[in-house]
Amino acid sequence: MENRGYIHIYTGNGKGKTTAALGLALRAVCSGKKVFFGQFLKGMKYSELDATKYLPNFIMKQYGAEKFICSSPSQKDVEIARKGILEIKEVLAKGEYDIVVLDELNIALYYNLFSVEEIIDILEKRKDNIEVVITGRYAPQKLINKADLVTEMREIKHYYKKGVEARIGIEK
C-alpha cells in the first residue's frame, strides 16, 4: 500500500473549512496518527485550543495576533506569520507528524504574508508521507493546481445575516 501524503485544500466563502480540518484531525488522532494544527492569523481564544487537553498526539499552535486582520496586516501580523511559516517548514521537513493542518493559510497568502511559490516550495520539500490540509477563503490557483483534493464550501444561507453572533462551541 502506498504511503504517500496528499495535499487537501478546503476553501470558499461558506462556513466549515476549519471545522472540516478539525474533523479530519480528530479522525486521524483516533486512529493513532500524530497531528500538528497550525492556525495562521488567529490569536484569539477558540474552543478547539482545548483539544490538546483531550487528544493525545494533537498539537495546536496559533500564528496570529489577538484579532483577525480586517484590512491590511500590521507589522506584528507579518512577524508572527513569518515565524509560523518557518516553524511549519521545519515540522514538514522533520516528518514527526502524519497530518499537518495549515488553517487560514489561504488568507495569509491573500494578504501577501508570504508567496504562493514559497509555500509550494515548502510543500515539495516535506516528507512524502505527510498529509497536508490547507484552509481558508481565496485559495490561489497555483496552490489549487498543486493540491490533490480541493473542496469548496459555498455559502447558500447563513444565520449571521439575521444577526446571530459567533457562538462558543459552534463558530468559536
Residue 68: the pLDDT is: 59
Report if residue 169 sits inside a domain: no
* The pLDDT of residue 69: 62
Give CA–CA dist 69/63, Å, rounded. 12
* Residue 79 lies inside a defined structural domain of this protein: yes
Assigned domain for 170 exists? no
Q: 37-76: string of b/e by CB count within 10 Å (b at 16+)? A: bbbbbbbeebebeebeeebebbbbebbbbeeebeeebeee
Segment 10-38 mean pLDDT: 96
48 found inside a domain: yes
Print the domain residue range for 92. Answer: 7-162
> Over the stretch 71-95, which tens digit does the pLDDT of each residue have?
778 888 889 999 999 999 999 999 9
**pLDDT of the residue at 163:** 84
pTM: 0.91
pLDDT in tens, 140-169: 999 999 999 999 999 888 887 788 888 777
**N-to-C CA span, the chain:** 38
* Domain presence at residue 121: yes
Residue 33: inside a domain: yes
pLDDT tens track for 52-71: 899 999 999 999 887 656 67
**131, part of any domain:** yes
- Segment 110-147, tens digit of pLDDT: 999 999 999 999 999 999 999 999 999 999 999 999 99
For the four alpha carbons of 125, 78, 144 and 130, in that order, the dihedral sign comes to positive
| CB-based contact 7:148 (threshold 8 Å) | yes
In a domain, residue 1? The reply is no
Predicted local confidence at residue 140, as pLDDT? 98
**pLDDT mean across residues, the chain:** 91
CATH of the domain at 45: 3.40.50.300
What is the tally of structural domains in the chain?
Answer: 1
